[in-house]
């Protein structure tokens, strides 16, 4: 009997133990599952927060990039026009003695309320007259006194006006838009009012070779547009005849006609300008960037005579050049710009340089008198090379340049060649040396840089 009781007690205790074990295992499982669920929720929250932070960072980065782009490039409202003064033959004077105009669709001449139509293909001539004569005017010509003005447009406004006798790099240059001619006591002033984007096509083609990569041409288009818009803004409210002219004093317009590539570059960048108050560009550097010790004549000569690295300025031959100017040519320039009637030229001497080496003042002497040419552009005009051969660093030669390539030069010697004198000049670079190097922009584009990267490199 006792044995059976003990057996029963053992079974009861075993059953209770199993019950307790089951309860314990259930409790542990519940705790583990609860802990895992909490951990999962925490991980999910952390991952969501992490993704949120990354998304915020991406948005911040995109926003910063957008703000940077917006700050660097901005877009104009369409429909802007620009007024460009057309200088005389070869850009030598701002006045015209006479002007011939024609249009294939016919010509509409407006003079106050008077309107005259010139048949298609016929040439209309404008003359300057200080006082009007009593002779009747012909149908195909007009004489303008100092207080008179006329406007010319093609009968079909989609067609250009042709100036068949104006001397430019192209023959018989043509102009979109309308042409305004004003009589003055010194001659005729001629202004072309044209759509800004149309104007830019003939700036890009005149300022940068069409052989350059498209992205470089796009960078050039944005530079030219920014420069033009700055000129328009500066002339507002000042009653100027024009916003700028078509010469190197501003930026060259329509010396060569717009072509397919220049049109594409302007279209791809339509309306884009840089947020800069001053935008300049030039062809090739003299490699003086960062130098401040070249205002000394001896230092500059040593610098220029040192042979540049083989790939300097991307291998451009314009890095160094030389030219021999005949005495007669310089005397003609002095007469033209200063009205002097010298018979001989005794000396040409650099009087002042900028810290980076650019000539700022140049003196000319005939032994008893002295003339000073001041400023980079004036100096390059006086020493123009239209009648001289320029020798480049790679041995090639070029000629017919109206300006000296740059003001980074020194006078090597004034020498006698039998009975004739000549001035031998050593120089470097092409252009004024400020802003974007067009040659550098072309090289960057060949290496894969886009127009915005090129512009940021030179202007940011």
Name which residue leads in pLDDT, 283 or 162: 162
Q: Per residue, what are the HEC states of the chain?
A: CHHHHHHHHHHHHHHHHHHHHHHHHHHHHHHHHHHHHHHHHHHHHHHHHHHHHHHHHHHHHHHHHHHHHHHHEEECCCCCEEEEECCCHHHCCCCECEEEEECCCCEEEEECCEEEEECCCCCEEEEECCCCCCCCCCCCEEEECCCCEEEEEECCCCCCEECCCCCCCCCCCEECCEEEEEECCCCEEEEEEEEHHHHHHHHHHHHCCCCCCHHHHHHHHHHHHHHHHHHHHHHCCCCCCCCEECCCCCCCCCCCCCCHHHHHHHHHCCCEEECCCCCCEECECCCCCCCCCCCCHHHHHHHHHCCCCCCHHHHCHHHCEEEEEEHHHHHHHHHHHHCCCCCCCCEEEEEEECCCCCEEEEEEECCCCEEEEECHHHHHHHCCECCCCEEECCCCEECCECCCCCCCEEEEEEEEECCEEEEEEEECCECCCCCEEHHHHHHHHHCCCCHHHHHHHHHC
Nearest 5°: phi and psi at 350? -75, 125
Question: pLDDT value at position 201?
Answer: 97
User: How large is the average pLDDT for residues 237-246?
Assistant: 89
Instruction: Tell me if 372 sits within 8 A of 351, measured CB to CB.
Output: yes
User: How large is the average pLDDT for residues 157-178?
Assistant: 94
Question: pLDDT value at position 326?
Answer: 92
User: How large is the average pLDDT for residues 258-280?
Assistant: 93
Q: Examine the pLDDT at 96 and tell me if it is beyond 70.
A: yes
**Closest residue by Cα to residue 435 from 413, 417, 457:** 457
Question: pLDDT value at position 314?
Answer: 79
Q: Examine the pLDDT at 19 and tell me if it is beyond 80.
A: no
Q: Examine the pLDDT at 42 and tell me if it is beyond 80.
A: no
Min mean pLDDT across 14-23, 177-186, 392-401 is at 14-23
Q: What percent of the chain has pLDDT over 70?
A: 81
Question: pLDDT value at position 278?
Answer: 83
User: How large is the average pLDDT for residues 322-336?
Assistant: 93
User: How large is the average pLDDT for residues 216-243?
Assistant: 93
Q: Examine the pLDDT at 337 and tell me if it is beyond 70.
A: yes
Average pLDDT, the chain: 85
The 10s digit of each residue's pLDDT in 291-303 is 899 999 999 999 9
Question: pLDDT value at position 28?
Answer: 53
The 10s digit of each residue's pLDDT in 389-447 is 999 999 999 887 778 999 999 998 665 554 558 899 999 999 888 889 999 999 999 99
Q: Examine the pLDDT at 321 and tell me if it is beyond 80.
A: yes
Question: pLDDT value at position 136?
Answer: 52
Question: pLDDT value at position 86?
Answer: 97
Name which residue leads in pLDDT, 55 or 457: 457
User: How large is the average pLDDT for residues 225-254?
Assistant: 91
Question: pLDDT value at position 402?
Answer: 78
Rounded distance between C-alpha atoms, residue 74 and residue 228, angstroms? 15
Instruction: Tell me if 435 sits within 8 A of 227, measured CB to CB.
Output: no
The 10s digit of each residue's pLDDT in 154-164 is 999 999 999 99
Q: Is 199 exposed, middle or buried (0-12, 13-18, 19+ CB in 10 A)?
A: buried
Question: pLDDT value at position 264?
Answer: 97
User: How large is the average pLDDT for residues 357-367?
Assistant: 95
């Amino acid at each position: 009997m006792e044995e059976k009781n003990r057996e029963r007690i053992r079974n009861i205790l075993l059953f209770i133990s199993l019950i307790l074990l089951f309860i314990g295992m259930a409790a542990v499982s519940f705790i583990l599952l609860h802990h895992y669920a909490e951990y999962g929720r925490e991980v999910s929250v952390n991952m969501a927060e992490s993704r949120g932070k990354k998304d915020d960072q991406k948005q911040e980065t995109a926003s910063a990039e957008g703000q940077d782009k917006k700050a660097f490039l901005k877009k104009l409202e369409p429909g802007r026009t620009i007024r460009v003064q057309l200088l005389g033959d070869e850009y030598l004077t701002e006045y015209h003695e006479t002007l011939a105009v024609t249009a294939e669709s016919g010509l509409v001449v407006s003079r106050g309320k008077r309107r005259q139509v010139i048949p298609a293909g016929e040439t209309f001539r404008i003359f300057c007259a200080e006082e009007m004569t009593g002779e009747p005017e012909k149908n195909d010509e007009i004489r303008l006194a100092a207080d008179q003005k006329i406007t010319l447009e093609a009968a079909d406004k989609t067609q250009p006006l042709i100036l068949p006798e104006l001397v430019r790099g192209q023959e018989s240059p043509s102009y979109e838009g309308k042409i305004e001619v004003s009589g003055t006591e010194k001659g005729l002033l001629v202004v072309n009012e044209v759509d800004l984007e149309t104007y830019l096509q003939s700036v890009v083609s005149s300022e940068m070779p069409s052989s350059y990569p498209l992205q470089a041409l796009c960078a050039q288009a944005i530079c030219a547009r920014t420069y033009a818009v700055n000129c328009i803004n500066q002339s507002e409210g000042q009653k100027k005849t024009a916003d700028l002219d078509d010469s190197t004093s501003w930026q060259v317009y329509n010396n060569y006609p717009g072509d397919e590539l220049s049109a594409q570059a302007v279209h791809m960048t339509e309306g884009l300008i840089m947020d800069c108050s001053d935008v300049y560009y030039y062809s090739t550097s003299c490699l003086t960037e960062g130098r401040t010790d070249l205002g000394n004549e001896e230092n500059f000569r040593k610098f220029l005579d040192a042979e540049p690295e083989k790939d300097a300025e991307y291998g451009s031959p314009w890095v160094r050049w030389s030219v021999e100017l005949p005495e007669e040519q310089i005397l003609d320039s002095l007469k033209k710009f200063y009205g002097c009637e010298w018979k001989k030229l005794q000396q040409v001497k650099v009087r002042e340089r900028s810290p980076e080496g650019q000539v700022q003042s140049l003196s000319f002497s005939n032994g008893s008198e002295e003339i000073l040419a001041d400023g980079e552009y004036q100096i390059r005009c006086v020493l123009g090379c239209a009648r001289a051969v320029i020798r480049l660093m790679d041995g090639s030669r070029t000629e017919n340049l109206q300006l000296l390539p740059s003001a980074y030069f020194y006078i090597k010697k004034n020498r006698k060649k039998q009975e004739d004198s000549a001035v031998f000049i050593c120089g470097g670079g092409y252009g004024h040396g400020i802003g974007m190097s067009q040659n550098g922009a072309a090289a960057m584009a060949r290496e894969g840089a886009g127009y915005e990267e090129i512009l940021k490199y030179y202007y940011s």
